[in-house]
Structure 1
Amino acid sequence: MIYESGEIMHKTSEIESEISKKSKYKNLYFHYGGDILHKKIQPAYLKMLLDFDKICKENNIFYLITAGTLLGAVREHGWIPWDDDIDILVWHNDFKKIGIAIEKSGMSDKYQYIHPENSSIVTVDGKFMSKNVSLGSLMGDMGIGHPLYMDILPIENVPDNKVFREIKSLFSRVLMLSYNSLRCLKENDELLDIMSRDSIELRNNLRIRRFAAIPARLLGQKRTFKLLQFVNSYPSKNTKAVSVPLGVKMYKGEIVSRSVFAQSTSLSFEGHLFPGPIGYKEYLSNRYGNDYMTPPPKNEQGIKCFQKRADWKKIYLDDRRKRCEK
């Protein structure tokens, strides 16, 4: 069976979410609902987006809001009620420039840029990360940790030759699955490994993930990502189509016509104007389906926000010691 990277990653997260609610593990996570999301987290992210917009304008970096942020701007003129992040696109050549732009704009005391090639964490996204604001600081509990960050992905050219395109898509999908599966190795997520002892479903899921991670483990995290970048990139700027190959639908699923991202159009988001793709209708139809303007059913609109606490291990060991003393 061939597992799509996005599907299997989503499945792992869904299983973790359910187990994290059990009494044995719930103190190791920070769960939050609509009140915290709307009053604290979303406003903090909006401030970050405004600063990012300023940095990009000062440094002539073309960027676009995308994914749930774009959908919110088009459908809600602001946040989707259950959305808890910001998604950004830049052209391939600007993917590494954001760190330099932060320095030039004098905001290095507030933000840093985490590029996947230079990161110890397993991520395909660039991360525009706050140095001062975290879930912990917003909640007055620094043990929660988790600095706020915005996800940034590159737009890549796609060859017109369909056979070449299929080959690139295949290799990109395999590399994405293997690279992302590194997150589930014991050394990268010890708590997942602990929780798998209480869940056959999670245990089986991790077995698949760890088998899939073998190529990336042999190559090494950084070399695998560089190879993934090489596979996804294409030098010609005259192709008919482009893709966001590191996106949730991966290389082939994210392909749209070049005209979609050729220019930006101003879209209202929480009373501010931000650049969205001029062809946002084509993009959103491809990403979410032709009925993207129709919100999902009520039972699918729930806020399922949770984060593993930064101090989870101390809490876990303290709880285990107390149980042993009884």
Structure 2
Amino acid sequence: MLELSAEELKSIELGILKDVADFCDKKEIKYFLCGGTLLGAVRHKGFIPWDDDVDIAMPREDYDRFLKEYNKKESIYRVNAIENNSKWHMSFARVEDYTTTLIEGTLKKKYRNCHAFVDVFPIDGIPANKLEEKTFMIKQKIFGIILNASSFCFLPSKHYSDSKDSNISLKNTIRTCLKFVAICLFSMINTQFIAKIINRNSRKYKYNESDYIGLTVFVWNWKFEKAKAVSFEERIKFKFENYEFWGPKGYDEYLTSTYGDYMTPPPVECQVSHHSFKVYKNEV
């Protein structure tokens, strides 16, 4: 197999995003650019130059519809989630390009062979009571750590590599140590069982009944992305690599909450990918 360059991978990911966006528009399924993809659209009008993935989010009801309907069409793309794939190893969905093979070195061997992807996160509500919110987030954080520990293998963490944090090397070392301890404790736990618990818990608070919403806050323990629900009431189009995709009208509140001064990029020496995968084009 031929390893793809960073630009070739971005082209494939853009193809997935276009297909998902066209499908969602046709089926009236609401989606938003989110995370680093929305940041890239706002700051760079496309991919963050050193980033190598795409993130979108959907309100839970739209997310469920998407999981049920997307795979009905014949395509090189397929969405995988714990809701439609009993062997899936994550608590959120990915739309994958099956003409590629992605080798994720941080995962256990049985989860390692995947495909070039676009991440799809459900958007859920957040408890109105502050103590209840804090308790719920801690609980989901713990489940997220157990989930990752059950699917990861012993490789150093690169989580902070592309951040503006100080002492990046120290933070990655500490995170690596904690990761190794967690793997030792929880590696025998059933990954799918934990993923189902995480999603079952996150469904308790409705997207359309909450003042605040969480994009990856309940299903992915690396990020706590929280926003005012009003920021996601309306959508506007954002230019992204010469195409246009939907994002939240209240993007400034969401990006500020998630990244702080989001228009200032990290130092040049930190402008690197924090992922550890390689992607190949399958032989015909």
- How has the CA–CA distance of structure 1 residues 69 and 119 changed in structure 2, closer, same or farther, with 3 Å as cutoff? farther
Equivalent pair of 2:92/2:121 in contact (CA under 8 Å)? yes
Matches of 2:174 and 2:251, distance apart in 1: 38
Deviation at 1:116, TM superposition (A): 2.5
Match of 2:228 among 237, 248, 257: 257
**Deviation at residue 111 of structure 1 after TM alignment:** 1.4
- Paired position in structure 2 for 1:83: 51
- What secondary structure, in the 3-state scheme, does the structure 2 residue paired with 1:61 have? coil
Within 5 Å, which residues of 2 pair with 1:220-239?
220-236=190-206, 237-239=208-210
Letter in 2 for 1:265: I
Alignment pair present for 1:179 and 2:179 = no
Q: Which runs of 5+ in 2 are unaligned?
A: 104-111, 157-172
* C-alpha RMSD over aligned residues: 3.1
Who is 2:65 aligned against?
97
Task: Report % sequence identity.
Answer: 25
Q: Does 1:208 align with 2:208?
A: no
Q: Check conservation: 2:233, 2:248, Cα contact below 8 A.
A: yes
TM-score norm. by structure 2 comes to 0.77
2:247 is the counterpart of 1:276: yes
Q: Specify the alignment match of 2:259 in structure 1.
A: 288
**Pairing partner for 1:114 from 80, 87, 91:** 80
* Alpha-carbon distance in structure 2 between the residues aligned to 1:225 and 1:307: 22
Q: CA deviation at 1:255?
A: 2.2
Count the aligned residue pairs: 251
For residues 1-326 of structure 1, what are the structure 2 equivalents within 5 Å? 36-38=5-7, 40-104=8-72, 106=73, 108-117=74-83, 118-134=85-101, 146-184=114-152, 189=153, 204-205=177-178, 207-213=180-186, 217=189, 220-236=190-206, 237-244=208-215, 245=217, 246-247=219-220, 249-250=222-223, 253-289=224-260, 291-303=261-273, 306-307=276-277
| Aligned residue type for 1:65 | L
CA distance in 2, matches of 1:158, 1:151: 21
Residue by residue over 1:273-320, the C-alpha shift from the partner in whole angstroms, topping out at 9 and shown as x without a partner, is 10011111111111111x21112111111356642689xxxxxxxxxx
CA distance in structure 1 between the aligned counterparts of 2:243 and 2:194, rounded to whole angstroms: 39
**Rg (Cα) greater in structure:** 1
Distance in 1 separating the partners of 2:56 and 2:267: 26
**AA paired with 2:134?**
E
TM-score, scaled relative to structure 1: 0.68
Does the C-alpha gap of structure 1 residues 212 and 270 become closer, same or farther in structure 2, counting only changes over 3 Å? same
Q: Give the match's secondary structure for 1:95.
A: helix
Q: Given that residues 259 and 279 in structure 1 are in contact (C-alpha distance below 8 angstroms), is that contact kept between their aligned partners in structure 2?
A: yes
Please tell me whether the aligned partners of residues 157 and 239 of structure 1 are also in contact (alpha carbons under 8 angstroms): yes
Alignment check: 8 A CA contact 1:179 1:221 kept: yes
| Pairwise CA distance, 1:174 | 0.9
Q: Deviations over 1:97-153 (max 9, x none)?
A: 22433245x3x33111101342524212201111223469xxxxxxx9642111111
